[in-house]
A and B are shown apart, each in its own frame.
Chain A
Amino acid sequence: MEVLLGITGKDFTLIAASKAAMRGATILKVSDDKTRQLNKHTLMAFSGEAGDTVQFAEYIQANAQLYSMRNETDLSPSALANFVRGELASSLRSRKPYNVNLLLGGVDPITHKPSLYWLDYLASLASVPYAAHGYAQYYCLSLLDKHHQPDISLERGMELLRLCADELKRRLPIDFKGLVVKAVTKDGIEVMPFDEDEVVKGT
């Protein structure tokens, strides 16, 4: 019941992840952050098997940061997405594959083009305008199909996220304890204030 959402707009990429850390039917934590910053303008959100997720995400984070230090340049979001895919794909055919689903959002440091990559545990990679993982796919993709435009503003992006969160709260059987929302822009990554209880009117 983990929720991962991603939306791109005119000059930003929004990534949202549920705050509940669950083990079976028990909620262990209500302020979990399922995201890791890879470099100045790339953010990765993850869900999947308990130990695998953080282990894999921090391995990727460490390698991305090592690259930035060695070369004094950051890898672009597309380069990172393909690096992550390669690591996940070689893990897939190993003795114990990582069971991790990812969303990778970023803004290109040179062109300032926002991008969002969808990766599942099989290492299928797709560049998409908006994406979700887990049960959120069934509820949110149809909403975003209807309401998303490629040139939306950050405010409109947050509005769409609230619309999705509202639908998820209505339909999911377990409380996911709200969302952490982070925005990637050309100026870096910022945590966005997100009020779960705000009333949403159908847009």
Chain B
Amino acid sequence: MSSPFSINGGACVAMVGKDCVAIACDLRLGLQALTVSNNFPKVFQYGENVFLGLTGLATDVSTVSDLFRYKVNMYRLREERHIAPRTFANLVSSSLYERRFGPYFVSPVVAGLDPTTGAPFICGFDSIGCIDFAKDFIVSGTATEQLFGMCESLWEPDMGPDALFETISQSLLNAVDRDALSGWGAHVYIIEKDKVTKRLLKGRQD
């Protein structure tokens, strides 16, 4: 109950489709059972089509998202190009492992499209940077168990952007309704070759 990962609550999920990926998060920020804010996004954009979802301790969500904004900006200035999702994933991994014996209490999720091949890429991490590559979906947060159940039953290979949006939205919305620590609306990003669509889902407000 007082694990740093479940004080503030929150959920995040990423999914692969046909030539597209999706990433979504809930909007709750709480202190144990008390909801403090219902507008606390956990998905951040780094470059053209690289996205990072962060669940866990809210202070570390902010710290880590700010840290990667700095690191990715420095990368872009040095290399004079946007960072690729796979490169970003390795940056996340090594940055988290730097704090091996005093970790940031976050469970990151990376989603994006490879800038050269356009191939979908998603992966998840534990709090010390061990990468979990996946071909289907990645979940994280206090609603992981519920999200695994929803994704296992709804996800299928080679979905188009519209089907993918429907699948990820239903998965997240129905998962967070069975978790007291997450919910209160959601952000959903659908990432295609040269288009990113961000949608705001209202969800249950209780």
Is the pair B31, A120 in contact by a Cβ cutoff of 8 Å? yes
* Residues of B contacting A85 in the complex (Cβ-Cβ under 8 angstroms): 62
Is the pair B31, A138 in contact by a Cβ cutoff of 8 Å? no
Footprint of B on A, CB under 8 Å?
85-86, 89, 92-93, 118, 120, 122-128, 131, 137-138, 141
Interface of B, helix, strand, loop or mixed by DSSP: mixed
Q: Who on chain A is nearest to B58 by CB? A: A124
Q: Who on chain B is nearest to A128 by CB? A: B37
Q: Who on chain B is nearest to A85 by CB? A: B62
CA gap between A100 and B39 in the complex, in Å: 23
Is the pair A89, B62 in contact by a Cβ cutoff of 8 Å? yes
Q: Closest CB-CB distance, A1 to chain B, in whole Å? A: 17
Q: Closest CB-CB distance, B72 to chain A, in whole Å? A: 18
CA gap between A175 and B147 in the complex, in Å: 46
A122-B7, A124-B8, A126-B37 given; 10 more Cβ-contact pairs under 8 Å: A86-B66, A89-B59, A89-B63, A118-B36, A122-B57, A123-B62, A123-B63, A124-B29, A124-B62, A126-B29
Contact with A along B1-21 (1 / 0, CB 8 A): 000000110000000000000
* Residues of B contacting A138 in the complex (Cβ-Cβ under 8 angstroms): 34
Q: Closest CB-CB distance, B73 to chain A, in whole Å? A: 16
* B37 partner, pick from A86, A92, A118, beta carbons under 8 A: A118
Is the pair A124, B59 in contact by a Cβ cutoff of 8 Å? yes
CA gap between A138 and B30 in the complex, in Å: 12
In the complex, whether B40 has a CB less than 8 A from a CB of chain A is yes
* Residues of A contacting B57 in the complex (Cβ-Cβ under 8 angstroms): 122, 124
* B62 partner, pick from A93, A125, A128, A137, beta carbons under 8 A: A125
A93/B102 contact (C-beta < 8 A), A122-B58, A122-B59 known: yes
Is the pair B39, A127 in contact by a Cβ cutoff of 8 Å? yes
* B36 partner, pick from A86, A89, A123, A131, beta carbons under 8 A: A131
Q: Closest CB-CB distance, A165 to chain B, in whole Å? A: 20
Is the pair B36, A128 in contact by a Cβ cutoff of 8 Å? yes
* A126 partner, pick from B40, B63, B66, beta carbons under 8 A: B40
* Residues of A contacting B62 in the complex (Cβ-Cβ under 8 angstroms): 85, 89, 123-125
CA gap between A125 and B40 in the complex, in Å: 9
* Residues of A contacting B39 in the complex (Cβ-Cβ under 8 angstroms): 126-128
Q: Who on chain B is nearest to A88 by CB? A: B59
A126/B59 contact (C-beta < 8 A), A93-B102, A120-B31 known: no
* Residues of B contacting A92 in the complex (Cβ-Cβ under 8 angstroms): 59
* Residues of B contacting A131 in the complex (Cβ-Cβ under 8 angstroms): 36
The 7 closest A-B pairs by CB, nearest first: A124-B58, A126-B37, A123-B59, A122-B59, A124-B59, A126-B29, A128-B37
Question: Could you name 18 residue pairs across A and B whose Cβ atoms are closer than 8 Å?
Answer: A85-B62, A89-B59, A89-B63, A118-B36, A118-B37, A123-B59, A124-B36, A124-B57, A124-B59, A124-B62, A126-B29, A126-B36, A126-B37, A127-B37, A128-B36, A131-B36, A137-B36, A138-B34
| Residues of B51-105 whose CB lies within 8 A of A | 57-59, 62-63, 66, 102
CA gap between A89 and B63 in the complex, in Å: 8
* Residues of A contacting B8 in the complex (Cβ-Cβ under 8 angstroms): 124
Q: Closest CB-CB distance, A194 to chain B, in whole Å? A: 25
Q: Who on chain A is nearest to B61 by CB? A: A124
Q: Closest CB-CB distance, A136 to chain B, in whole Å? A: 12
CA gap between A123 and B61 in the complex, in Å: 11
Q: Who on chain A is nearest to B57 by CB? A: A122
* Residues of B contacting A93 in the complex (Cβ-Cβ under 8 angstroms): 102
Q: Closest CB-CB distance, B98 to chain A, in whole Å? A: 13
CA gap between A86 and B65 in the complex, in Å: 12
